[in-house]
């Protein structure tokens, strides 16, 4: 190991290294706070001035990160934020945590990674470790990140270190965070791998070393492709059950009673968030360049993308059964974020549900305690109250996100017609009509038995 990297290794060992994090969102800020708590000085970089000002003021804008933690680290001078990317030169370790969305053609959009890489290249010096955390396709660290960083003559494994370590953030998860979620790490060479593993070991309880950056990239895509495929499977089972007149919740509960060989996934209105709807398509895109068709991935994407339309068709059927038309109906969508108890609306199926409802001529409103306002289909919306008086004014209520903050008993008693895509409404409290995701409607007060649900811990869409 050359002198610059030996110096870096010593700084990592005694925690005097300076960590720079590019991108202060759901991934970057929790990561910075985790390292700051371990005594590492962290500099956050973002083009969003409001995020920088918020951190400098000691205020968190990420629900999973308490403002008290941010304020304490800022006061101790272990956390700061800036829009001045020239300060990357001060950092010994640089973690790139920027978005990697899909383009309009549903191909990888790596423009944010490209911009971050260019910022790093401009200030790159010997003795720095650069780690990409953003989700990518297998080979991107080697093919996209390494060449520009080595273009100036500094070589990975000799002068600098380059690695990939996928983020595994689960917004709203109260059990697993940065510290206790195992960290997969793979470098472009053995020296890079060792340095990256040692660095993450400062803040993370368990580091999982793999042989290459590409192996780490593939591991991340496998995790979320597994979820996407299984969610698509159970979503299609819900469609099958509807054709057969069966309640998919009851079917899943029965299957989950088997103590081996089955993992319960829950159906829903589609997938959302930054990972599950996008990551498998990064894999599919990469395989297309190698003349291989990822059939499971593509089929799963088709099924999951079709769920919002199915939910709206369910609403139209339910209204028609009450001698009402979707056109002109007042419809309330409960939940705009993609999953319960978070404010993250990225790729949320609720947006597509609202778009389809609007195209069908419905008058749409939404309620979400975590999302006070939003723009859908170029139309501004504000969250409306979810109380008895408000609910009574709608022809149909669509449960798109099952926030624990929603008053489910009130929803059950006060709504005329409910289409429940999450199995959240207590059926024994329903006084109007409830249509589950599959199977027959529940009219009036439901039977005394409780609604069928899968085992606790089953994965959700």
Active site (catalytic) residues: 275
Other CB atoms within 10 Å distance of the CB of residue 360: 19
Collapse the DSSP code of 124 into the 3-class scheme (helix H, G, I; strand E, B; otherwise coil) and give the result: coil
Tally Cβ neighbours within 10 Å of residue 434: 26
**Coil, strand or helix at 336:** coil
Closest CA to 343 of 96, 110, 113, 65: 65
Q: Do residues 382 and 373 touch, judged by C-beta distance below 8 A?
A: yes
Token reading at 21: 């994090």
Among residues 7, 8, 5, 98, the alpha carbon closest in space to that of 44 is found at 98
Polymer length of the chain: 461
- The sheet with strand 207-209 has its strands ordered as 79-82, 41-45, 18-22, 93-96, 129-132, 161-164, 183-187, 207-209
Residue 242 tokens, joined: 């509807």
CA 25, CA 339: separation in Å to the nearest integer?
A: 17
What are the φ and ψ backbone dihedral angles of 193, each rounded to 5 degrees? Answer: -60, -45
Longest CA pairwise span in the chain (Å): 79
């Amino acid at each position: 190991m050359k002198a610059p990297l030996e110096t870096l290794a010593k700084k990592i060992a005694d925690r005097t290294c300076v960590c720079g994090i590019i991108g202060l969102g759901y991934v970057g800020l929790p990561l910075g706070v985790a390292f700051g708590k371990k005594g590492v000085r962290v500099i956050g970089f973002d083009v969003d001035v409001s995020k920088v000002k918020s951190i400098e003021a000691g205020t968190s804008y990420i629900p999973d990160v308490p403002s008290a933690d941010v304020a304490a680290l800022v006061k101790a001078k272990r956390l700061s934020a800036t829009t001045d990317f020239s300060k990357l030169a001060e950092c010994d370790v640089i973690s790139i945590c920027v978005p990697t969305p899909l383009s309009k053609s549903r191909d990888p959009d790596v423009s944010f990674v490209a911009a971050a890489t260019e910022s790093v290249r401009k200030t790159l010096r010997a003795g720095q470790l650069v780690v990409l955390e953003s989700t990518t396709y297998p080979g991107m660290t080697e093919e996209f990140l390494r060449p520009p960083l080595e273009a100036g003559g500094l070589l990975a494994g000799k002068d600098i270190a380059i690695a990939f370590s996928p983020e595994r953030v689960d917004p709203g998860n109260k059990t697993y965070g940065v510290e206790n979620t195992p960290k997969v790490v793979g470098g472009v060479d053995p020296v890079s791998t060792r340095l990256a593993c040692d660095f993450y070991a400062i803040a993370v309880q368990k580091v999982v070393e793999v042989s290459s950056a590409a192996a780490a990239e593939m591991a991340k895509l496998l995790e979320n492709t597994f979820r996407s495929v299984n969610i698509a499977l159970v979503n299609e089972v819900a469609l099958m059950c509807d054709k057969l007149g069966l309640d998919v919740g009851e079917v899943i509960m029965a299957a989950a009673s088997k103590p081996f060989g089955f993992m319960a996934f829950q159906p829903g209105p589609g997938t959302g968030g930054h990972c599950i709807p996008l990551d498998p398509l990064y894999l599919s895109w990469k395989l297309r360049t190698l003349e291989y068709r990822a059939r499971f991935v593509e089929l799963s994407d088709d099924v999951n993308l079709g769920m919002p339309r199915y939910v709206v068709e369910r609403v139209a059927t339910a209204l028609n059964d009450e001698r009402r038309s979707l056109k002109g109906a007042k419809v309330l969508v409960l939940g705009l974020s993609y999953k319960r108890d978070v404010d993250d609306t990225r790729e949320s199926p609720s947006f597509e549900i609202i778009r389809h409802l609007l195209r069908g001529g419905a008058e749409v409103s939404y309620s979400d305690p975590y999302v006070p306002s939003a723009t859908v289909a170029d139309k501004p919306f504000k969250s409306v109250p979810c109380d008895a008086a408000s609910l009574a004014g709608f022809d149909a209520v669509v449960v798109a996100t099952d926030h624990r903050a929603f008053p489910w008993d009130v929803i059950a008693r006060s709504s005329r017609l409910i289409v429940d895509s999450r199995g959240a409404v207590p059926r024994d409290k329903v006084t109007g009509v409830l249509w589950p995701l599959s199977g027959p409607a529940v009219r009036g007060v439901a039977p005394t038995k409780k609604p069928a649900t899968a085992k606790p811990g089953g994965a959700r869409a």
